[in-house]
Amino acid sequence: MKVVALAGGVGGAKLVQGLAGTLPPDSLSVVVNTGDDFEHLGLRICPDLDTVVYTLAGLADPQRGWGRADESWNFLQALGSLGGPTWFRIGDRDLAMHVERTHRMRAGQRLSRVTADLCRTLGVSVRVLPMSDDPVSTMVLTEEGELSFQEYFVARRCTPRVQGFRFQGAQRARPAPGVLQAIETAALVVFCPSNPWVSLDPILAVSGMRQALVSKTVVAVSPIVGGRAIKGPAAKMFAELGVEPTALAVAEHYNCLLKAFVLDQEDRDQEREIAALGLQTLVAQTIMRSIEDRLALARAVIEFAQGLLVGEVSV
């Protein structure tokens, strides 16, 4: 069974790692959000892509949730001494990724090609695809005006109240080479437990993505558990936009794209309402603390989907 996962940062990367350990090689493709990407110090920084790649390569820091394990910070310290900007924290080892990627892209290679090559070098066998090679910038509309994503997320620590989002360039952006083909040949598309507003919506905003997904079996895993986001500002965003942050709200957010929805045990009281949206439901343990949790959730999602697919054929 070919599977495509749509992923943003940490939560997405965790489920992707579980799926990679569950599915046979070559049957998993991951489409990763690049709306957070930005240019910093003249370098192309791709936070979500790096989180997915580092996680799959076994290089991710397990505590911090971003960057590499066993990291050192001598570059950043020296940069500060030179009067350079230190608000965006880049570790010494992590920096190699940004420098090498930027260098290859300046030489004319596209992000998708560079990502594929670096994955191969790092021994990552899962196909990791940026959502697009074209620039898309997630802009956060706030009470204090429009902020670029990193300005909102890192520099302002998500404090300004959110009023909406804009994915600059998304309408002109084409899916990266391989994205549409991967979706077309996939039996299952998984929306990972990533932030709906700023991790998956940018992917869905790329031209042609929604059309490609409309006829597919799409299962979303809720990033909201017990009214809270497991990590990041998703719950805060729902609340500030006037929507109670619940698994149900996530299911409603993705709306007609979904065939099925996976919610946490803690939210099982919402199962009936979610089912009332016309969705198949699975209640599972969605919080992934250990690698075993990741594998267990991935197996549960795959088994659930297999049941759905068999059901579809037999009905």
Using CB under 8 A as the binding rule, whether residue 276 contacts a second copy is answered as no
Three-state DSSP state, 151: helix
Q: Least distance from C-beta 129 to a second copy, angstroms? A: 18
Q: Least distance from C-beta 150 to a second copy, angstroms? A: 16
- Applying the rule CB under 8 A, the residues between 23 and 42 that interact with a second copy are 41-42
Residue 106: how many CA atoms within 13 Å on its side-chain side?
A: 10
Question: What would the x/- binding string for a second copy be over residues 117 to 156, using CB under 8 A?
Answer: xx--xx----------------------------------
CA pair distance 25, 198, nearest whole angstrom? 29
- Smallest Cα–Cα separation from 274: which of 294, 253, 297, 247? 247
Residue closer to a second copy (CB basis): 151 or 273: 151
- Applying the rule CB under 8 A, the residues between 54 and 113 that interact with a second copy are 68, 71-72, 74-79, 81-84, 91-97, 99-100, 102-103, 106
Q: Least distance from C-beta 98 to a second copy, angstroms? A: 9
CA pair distance 194, 191, nearest whole angstrom? 8
Residue closer to a second copy (CB basis): 45 or 221: 45
- CB 176: neighbour CB atoms within 10 A? 24
- Applying the rule CB under 8 A, the residues between 152 and 191 that interact with a second copy are none
Residue closer to a second copy (CB basis): 81 or 255: 81
User: Residues 67, 68, 70, 73: what is their CA dihedral angle, to the nearest 10 degrees?
Assistant: -50
Residue closer to a second copy (CB basis): 41 or 239: 41
- Smallest Cα–Cα separation from 30: which of 93, 137, 96, 112? 112
Task: Give 3-state DSSP helix, strand, coil % of the chain, rounded to 5.
Answer: 45, 20, 35
Residue closer to a second copy (CB basis): 44 or 294: 44
Please report, as ranges, the residues that interact with a second copy according to CB under 8 A: 41-43, 68, 71-72, 74-79, 81-84, 91-97, 99-100, 102-103, 106, 117-118, 121-122
